Structure 1
Amino acid sequence: MFEMQHITFRIRTLLHRAFYLSGDYDMYSIWNFCPMTNWNQAKALLQSCSLCRAESFPIVFWLVVLFSLFGAGFNCYELMQVWSCPCAKLAVWRQRHFYVLDHWALRKARLVSSGIIMIAWLMLIYGIIAISPHAMLPWILVTSFVLSVEWFIWLLEVITGRLPINLQTLLSQVLHVFFLGMVCCVKSVFEVALGEHVEHSLRII
């Protein structure tokens, strides 16, 4: 009997804490929306769920290293393909149709863009090795611009009904944004470490 009363008391206590307030009731109001307070609380919640924390930073860092090496290698292979095989068919991750530019103009544009992206990848790798946030900035700017254009074109095609919503395309877009966020996380950690002169714990070589 005593155990049953104890369990019942504990349940009532939990319900009271969940649905009733024991603090100051004067601070609650139906007119005090406080949008900035709500935004700060939501921002703090998102930051608490962020991967850019001390305990998860090693995973983020080495994922950025691996993806950077893979991206640089793949872009180098793509650049060599465009350079050495001018008659080869251009392969893109999302199929597009261009009705204004001819084949050779498209190939020149692809060659220039691949060269720019290749330089950005190499600077990103150098920035990771040398702990140089400034060297990582070109890749962040180029990728942000490309992703902004990609998202705009994709949303425009979806809204106008020219393109159905494809889960694979959406997942690819989200993963690119996620990787961009990880690179920005590494860059911000580098900046803080350089400012506090504790970059020795972040050096690969």
Structure 2
Amino acid sequence: MKKNKPKYHQIIDAAVIAIAENGYHQTQVSKIARQAGVADGTIYLYFKNKEDILISLFQEKMGSFVEKTGQIMNEKSKASDQLLLLVENHFSFLSEDRHLAVVTQLELRQSNKELRLKINEVLKEYLLLIDRILQGGIDSGEFRSNLNIRLARQMIFGTIDEMITTWVMNDQKYDLAASAPEVADMLLNGFSA
């Protein structure tokens, strides 16, 4: 399997840096190959084209994040603790890989419709994690029984996403992860006194 080979991950990691620094449309496969320290032809042993690299890097990075976060969430019984963990992990995950933050928040959004549909497939797993938190909170009585899960999910994802995008647009000048408790608190408790 290609995904278990070291060069596959080497190319993925190089693509994150090359795309973040040059932009997706300005990044040629040769730039990714140079960043990875491999011949141009080696890229095509693992990927069909540049679009395939972008989709694969999102699947690898986000897929791994969702899987790890899902496992860690199982250690928390309260939905509010799970939500805080989700926000903290997402903010920390992208704070620790600033190039990936640029790619996920800016470059992926400039892609074509077909590419976005493939990316949405990966996002579905993340959104299911949010649904799991919300349904768990409803089932335990922690959240109100008439909570609109779809709307709540959009609010949670939209808030997290906007916080990260703003951080990226501000050249990552502040500690994103430090804001996680306050973000989770506002999501859970709104603005009430």
Q: Compute the TM-score of the two structures, normalised by the length of structure 1.
A: 0.29
Write 1 or 2 for the structure with the bigger share of helix: 2
Higher relative contact order at CA 8 Å, sep ≥6: structure 1 or structure 2?
2
Bigger radius of gyration, 1 or 2?
1
